[in-house]
Amino acid sequence: MTDDAHTAARGVGVVVVAAGSGSRLGAGLPKAFVPLAGRPLLGWALDTVAQLPGLGSVVVVAPASLADPAAAAWSGVTLPPGTRVVAGGAERTDSVAAGLAALDPGCDVVLVHDAARCLAPLAVFERVVAAVRAGHAGVVPGVPVVDTVKGVDARGVVTGTPARDGLRAVQTPQGFRRDVLAAAHAGGAAAPDDAALVEALGHEVLVVDGDLRAFKVTTVDDLAHAVRFVADG
Ligand code: CTP
Ligand code: MG
């Protein structure tokens, strides 16, 4: 077997986290199942995942109440062949850990993707995978920060103003060597994102170019923004 064939055989595992409640969107159902142009956000995300070259295994992490893909809320979601669906946990970190535990053991690279970033383009997935394959233990897509960011203390008093050119707003999919991500989650600590857990282990995390379309649907305005993107093609 050539090195390339070996790499392809091991494959990329993708954990799509979709178990959040979507409290800030307030749509009355879990955010990943809220329709965008008639199909759940999760369906849009999975359509892109399905196109990923070298795709090995997909795990969707759903709310416990919706962990059966036969449920009506899944209508319009096409699962890539072999996809497993598992129930998530109280925090995003718990949901990622549940997804990782269900991933095919043959996958040596793992992407963790928010269903809420339903329009993240395939090119972002490919950039992240390429950088992990090139030897980086952790890779995140990022975009420049447009606002000036202030550090503040508990009273709201500014403690500092970091230089904007040294900041990135990071997105998903975030990609990792599987052994590194498993070790990062083994401690059971919660973190804002998976990269933070990997950083805490002392691994270097690389930022590659993200994409404005990989924004996260969080509020009603974000959903309207997504509708515009879809309408514009
Ligand atoms: N997520 C998850 N399990 C959780 C919390 C979040 O799988 N316990 C997922 C969400 O489904 C989403 C992604 O993580 O795809 C990013 O989380 P966020 O945007 O915060 O989504 P929600 O937690 O659903 O939204 P909110 O915080 O407004 O309730
Ligand atoms: Mg949340």
Burial 192-224 (b: 16+ CB within 10 A, else e): ebbbbbbbeeebebbbbebbebbbbbeeeeebe
Q: Quote the CA–CA distance of 143 and 207 in Å, as a whole number.
A: 9
Ligand 1 atom having least distance to the Cα of 217? 19
Residues 78-97 have a mean pLDDT of: 97
Q: How far is the CA of 133 from the centre of ligand 1 (A)?
A: 28
Give the number of the atom of ligand 1 that is nearest the alpha carbon of residue 30.
Answer: 24
Mutate to test the pocket of ligand 1, among 14, 15, 16, 17 (most ligand atoms within 8 A of CB): 17
Look up the domain containing 52 and give its range: 3-231
Model confidence at 209, in pLDDT bands (50, 70, 90)? Answer: very high
Residue 93 φ then ψ, to 5° = -55, -40
Is the pLDDT assigned to residue 3 strictly greater than 50? no
Q: Would the pLDDT of 2 be above 80?
A: no
Atom of ligand 1 nearest to the CA of 216: 19
What is the separation of C-alpha 214 from the centre of its chain, rounded to a whole number of angstroms?
Answer: 10
Exposure of 60 by Cβ count < 10 A (0-12 exposed, 13-18 middle, 19+ buried)? buried
Interval between CA 85 and ligand 2 midpoint (Å): 20
pLDDT at 7 over 50: no
User: Which tens digit of pLDDT belongs to each residue from 118-169?
Assistant: 999 999 999 999 999 999 999 999 999 999 999 999 999 999 999 999 999 9
C-alpha 188/C-alpha 97 separation (Å) is: 8
Q: From ligand 1's centre to the CA of 19, what distance in Å?
A: 6
* Lining residues, ligand 1, CB within 6 Å: 17-24, 31-32, 61, 88-92, 95, 114-116, 216, 218
Ligand 1 centre to CA of 86 (Å) is 15
CATH number at residue 52: 3.90.550.10
CA–centroid distance, 5 to ligand 1, in Å, is: 36
Distance from Cα 8 to the centre of ligand 1, integer Å: 31
39: Cβ contacts below 8 Å, ≥ 6 apart: 76, 77
Identify which of 42, 60, 92, 95 to mutate to test ligand 1's pocket (most ligand atoms within 8 A of the CB): 92
Per the prediction, the chain carries an average pLDDT of: 95
- The answer to whether the CB of 195 falls within 8 A of the CB of 170 is yes
From the CA of 56, how far away is ligand 1's center (Å)?
24
- What average pLDDT does this structure show over 97-120? 97
Q: What ligand has the least distance to the C-alpha of 16?
A: 1
For the whole model, what pTM was predicted? Answer: 0.95
Closest atom, ligand 1, to C-alpha of 23: 29
How many domains does the chain divide into?
Answer: 1
Counting from 1 in the atom list of ligand 1, the atom nearest the Cα of 61 is 7
d(CA 100, CA 111): 10
pLDDT digits (tens, 9 = 90+) for 49-65: 999 999 999 999 999 99
Q: What is the mean pLDDT of residues 35-51?
A: 98
Supply the pLDDT for residue 9.
47
- Check pLDDT > 80 for residue 1: no
Q: Is the pLDDT of residue 77 over 50?
A: yes
pLDDT of residue 182: 97
